[in-house]
């Protein structure tokens, strides 16, 4: 039985149901504000929720998920922050994310425990939201929803554990069975499921999840964060890029991201002095990737390290084209990578080494070029093509920005998000069979 089975608008006073702020609690280990590296989807959605007159509390880790560095002034304490009205509570996490996959699991389990403790100190809650990956923090959110007797919303941002199994990260048969059991357990007990890709909704429906239980609010972007006319002079000066044709990758440097293909393309173009690659990000594979570039003596590749979202505007403005890659795994065709929407909003052409639903977006936008995942020769050829035809690259960028402004605008998505939270909290009644209007945000 779900945590919300005894909850309904009838159980609330009329004043409570119409006038009091709705307090939503999100448990999200990898949450980051704009001054730290990483995606800011939940900060932006939470800020809109607060601006609508409600409350949003995020329980997150005390160390950054990408860099593993501390995000608090003194570890071991519960530190509270206020980010434009969004309340952030930091819970202790064992600092071992990038040591190995075993120690990453240790970090997940440590946060799973401490996040429950911190959440119980957050005060009166109307709705508990969990997000995956990892499913461990989804379990924490379910526990809190049961203890608080409040509805439980589970957001699926990646198809875990299937991605980990296909990557070969999760191999132990017992752990695979336990992970799939946890997945089914949470899907069954969530009052509602929220996904950020239409292909994830299809995945859930094939597992027998009722259509009315699933909403789609896709990844997107706040177009106002980017100026497509800017040229990124500061970034070009910092990295001595001059007037070179700059190709940028911005995001995690992990096993799934297939950065070695980008380095392979750079090696093929090592003698082309007009082209330079920027790799902006951090992750478990960064030391290995830097060593690979050093062994190949590549002077056309720069690792900038992770950059806060607030600095990404100038970094992308300095770029002439951007690249997104993932390993050639079937399930990766279901993803909507955040970075691609940032590239498009910045008005830059995307070279896309990912097949599937995100390819559909880029091609409908006429916003870039698709290359077969893992094909460094094709990637190098695409870079040369865009460098040779710079005006065409600029036209792709303009078309890409216009498309995301129209179809993947964070302001529109935030409105859908707020309506969903109001429905789940019981403040707005809707027929049980009615899908939330979020599906309209995904262009067909």
With cut-offs at 50, 70 and 90, classify the pLDDT of residue 264: very high
Residues 345, 401 contacting (CB under 8 angstroms): yes
Q: How many residues does the chain have?
A: 444
Q: Would you say residue 19 has pLDDT above 80?
A: no
Q: What are the pLDDT digits (tens) for 83-140? A: 999 999 999 888 766 556 666 788 888 899 999 999 999 999 999 999 998 889 999 9
Q: Does the residue 4 lie in any domain?
A: no
pLDDT at 439 over 50: no
> Could you tell me if residue 397 is inside a domain?
yes
Structural domain contains residue 311: yes
pLDDT surpassing 50 at residue 5: no
Do residue 198 and residue 254 come from a single domain?
no
Q: How far apart are CA 363 and CA 411, in angstroms?
A: 23
* 348-355 mean pLDDT: 98
CB contact at 8 A, 3 and 145? yes
pLDDT of residue 94: 80
Total domains in the fold of the chain: 2
375/320 same-domain check: yes
Cα dihedral 333/334/339/341 (nearest 10) = 110
Residue pair 311/134 in contact (Cβ under 8 Å)? The answer is no
Distance CA 113, CA 118 (A): 9
**Residue 147 CA to its chain's centroid (Å):** 28
Q: Are residues 168 and 84 in the same domain?
A: yes
* Residues above pLDDT 70, as percent of the chain: 86
Task: Supply 118's token pair.
Answer: 């911190």
296/358 same-domain check: yes
In a domain, 124, yes or no: yes
Pair (120, 181) in one structural domain: yes
Residue 61 lies in a domain: yes
Asked if residue 428 and residue 396 are part of one domain, the reply reads: no
pLDDT at position 3 over 50: no
* Residues 90, 170 share a domain: yes
Do 151 and 3 form a contact (C-beta atoms < 8 A)? yes
Domain that holds residue 62: 9-220+409-441
pLDDT at 429: 58
pLDDT of residue 430: 53
Least confident among 143-157, 342-356, 423-437: 423-437
pLDDT in tens, 140-165: 999 999 999 999 999 999 998 898 88
pLDDT score recorded for residue 8: 39
> Domain with 39 in it: what CATH number?
3.40.50.2000
Helix axes 135-148, 101-119, angle to 10 degrees: 20
- Cα distances (angstroms) measured from residue 283 to each of 35, 100, 255, 288, 326: 18, 11, 9, 10, 14
Q: Do 295 and 432 belong to one domain?
A: no
Kindly give the residue spans of alpha helices, DSSP state H, lying in 190-225.
198-206
Of 97, 6, 85, 75, the C-alpha closest to 43 is 85
Least confident of 21-30, 90-99, 302-311, 431-440: 431-440
pTM (2 d.p.): 0.87
Q: Are residues 36 and 181 in the same domain?
A: yes
Q: What is the pLDDT of residue 443?
A: 61
Instruction: Please tell me whether residues 146 and 183 are part of one structural domain.
Output: yes
Residue 1 lies in a domain: no
Q: Is residue 2 situated within a structural domain?
A: no
The whole-number average pLDDT for the span 283-289 is: 92
Same domain, 252 and 332: yes
- 63: DSSP letter: B
Q: Over the stretch 327-346, which tens digit does the pLDDT of each residue have? A: 999 999 999 999 999 999 99
pLDDT value at residue 15: 40
Q: Hunting for tokens 């951090």 — which residue is that?
A: 282
Q: How far apart are CA 389 and CA 376, in angstroms?
A: 20
pLDDT for residue 410 is more than 80: yes
CA distance 59 to 46: 12
- Do 210 and 229 sit in the same domain of this protein? no
What average pLDDT does this structure show over 309-329? 94
């Amino acid at each position: 039985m779900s945590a919300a089975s005894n909850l309904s608008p009838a159980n609330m006073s009329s004043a409570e149901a119409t006038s009091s702020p709705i307090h939503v609690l999100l448990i999200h280990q990898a949450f980051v504000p704009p001054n730290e590296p990483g995606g800011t989807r939940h900060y932006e959605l939470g800020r809109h929720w607060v601006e609508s007159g409600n409350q949003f509390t995020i329980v997150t880790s005390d160390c950054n998920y990408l860099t593993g560095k501390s995000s608090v002034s003194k570890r071991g304490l519960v530190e509270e922050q206020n980010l434009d009205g969004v309340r952030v509570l930091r819970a202790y996490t064992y600092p071992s994310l990038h040591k190995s996959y075993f120690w990453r699991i240790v970090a997940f389990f440590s946060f799973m425990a401490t996040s429950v403790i911190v959440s119980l100190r957050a005060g009166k809650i109307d709705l508990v939201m969990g997000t995956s990956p990892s499913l461990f923090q989804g379990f924490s959110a379910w526990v809190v929803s049961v203890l608080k007797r409040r509805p439980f919303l589970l957001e699926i941002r990646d198809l875990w554990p299937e991605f980990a199994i296909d990557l070969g990260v999760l191999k132990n048969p017992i752990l695979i069975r336990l992970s799939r059991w946890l997945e089914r357990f949470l899907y069954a007990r969530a009052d509602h499921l929220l996904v950020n890709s239409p292909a994830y909704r299809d995945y859930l429906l094939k597992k027998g999840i009722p259509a009315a239980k699933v909403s789609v609010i896709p990844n997107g972007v706040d177009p106002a964060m980017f100026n497509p006319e800017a040229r990124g002079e500061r970034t070009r000066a910092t990295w001595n890029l001059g007037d070179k044709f700059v190709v940028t990758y911005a995001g995690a440097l992990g096993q799934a991201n297939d950065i070695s293909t980008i380095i392979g393309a750079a090696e093929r173009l090592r003698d082309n002095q007009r082209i330079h690659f920027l790799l902006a990000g951090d992750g478990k594979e960064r030391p290995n990737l830097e060593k690979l570039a050093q062994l190949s003596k590549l002077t056309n590749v720069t690792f900038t390290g992770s950059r806060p979202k607030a600095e990404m505007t100038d970094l992308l403005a300095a770029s002439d084209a951007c690249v997104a890659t993932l390993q050639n795994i079937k399930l990766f065709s279901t993803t909507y990578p955040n970075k691609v929407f940032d590239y498009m909003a910045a008005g830059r052409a995307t070279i896309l080494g990912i097949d599937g639903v995100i390819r559909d977006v880029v091609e409908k936008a006429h916003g870039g070029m698709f290359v077969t995942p893992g094909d460094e020769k094709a990637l190098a050829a695409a870079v040369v093509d865009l460098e040779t035809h710079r005006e065409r690259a600029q036209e792709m960028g303009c078309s890409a920005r216009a498309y995301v402004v129209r179809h993947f605008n964070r302001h529109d998505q935030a409105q859908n998000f707020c309506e969903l939270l109001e429905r789940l909290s019981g403040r707005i009644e809707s027929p049980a069979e009615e899908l939330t209007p979020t599906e309209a945000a995904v262009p067909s």
